[in-house]
Structure 1
Amino acid sequence: MNRLKRVVAAIGAYAAHPDPRAAIANTVALVIVSNQPFYPLYLYWAVSSVIAPSYVTFLSTPFFAAVPAAMRRNTVLGRALLLAAGIGNTLLCRAAFGPGSGVEVFLFPCLMLALMLFRRAERLFALGFAALAFIAYLLPATLLGAPAHLYAPGEYAALQRLNFLSAASLTALIGWLFTAHLHTISRADETDDGRGA
Structure 2
Amino acid sequence: MRLETRARSGILRTFWNAAKAYFAHDDPLVATANLVALVVLWNQPFYPLYVYWSVGTDIAPTFYTFLSTPFFLAVPAVGRANGRAGRALLPIAGIGNTVLSAEVFGVASGVEMFLLPCVLLGFVLFRPGERIIAIAIAAVGMLAFTVLHGRYGAPVHIYSAEEYAGFLKMNALSAGTLTAFIGLLVMNLINPPAKR
TM-score (norm 2): 0.89
**Matched AA of 2:38:** L
1:190 — aligned with what?
none
Contact in 2 for aligned 1:98/1:141 (Cα 8 Å) = no
Deviation at 1:140, TM superposition (A): 3.8
Q: 1:90-169 alignment to 2 at 5 Å?
A: 90-169=98-177
1:15 — aligned with what?
23
Higher relative contact order (CA 8 A, sep 6+): 1
Answering whether residue 57 of structure 2 is matched by residue 82 of structure 1, we say: no
Residues of 1 paired with 2:59 and 2:103: CA distance?
14
1:179 — aligned with what?
187
Contact in 1 for aligned 2:107/2:150 (Cα 8 Å) = no
Q: Which one has the largest radius of gyration?
A: 2
Residues of 2 paired with 1:63 and 1:176: CA distance?
24
**Matched AA of 1:94:** A
Deviation at 1:142, TM superposition (A): 4.9
Return 5+ residue gaps in structure 1 as ranges.
185-197
**Matched AA of 2:154:** A
Distance 1:116 1:166, change over 3 A: same
Deviation at 1:141, TM superposition (A): 4.2
> How many positions carry a matched residue from both structures?
184
Residues of 1 paired with 2:31 and 2:11: CA distance?
24
1:193 — aligned with what?
none
Deviation at 1:144, TM superposition (A): 2.1
Q: Name the % identity.
A: 51
Residues of 1 paired with 2:167 and 2:35: CA distance?
26
Residues of 2 paired with 1:56 and 1:151: CA distance?
16
Residues of 2 paired with 1:91 and 1:76: CA distance?
23
Deviation at 1:112, TM superposition (A): 0.9
Q: Deviations over 1:141-169 (max 9, x none)?
A: 45322101111111101000111111111
TM-score (norm 1): 0.89
Which of 29, 45, 53 in structure 2 is aligned with 1:45?
53
Return 5+ residue gaps in structure 2 as ranges.
1-8
**Matched AA of 1:61:** T
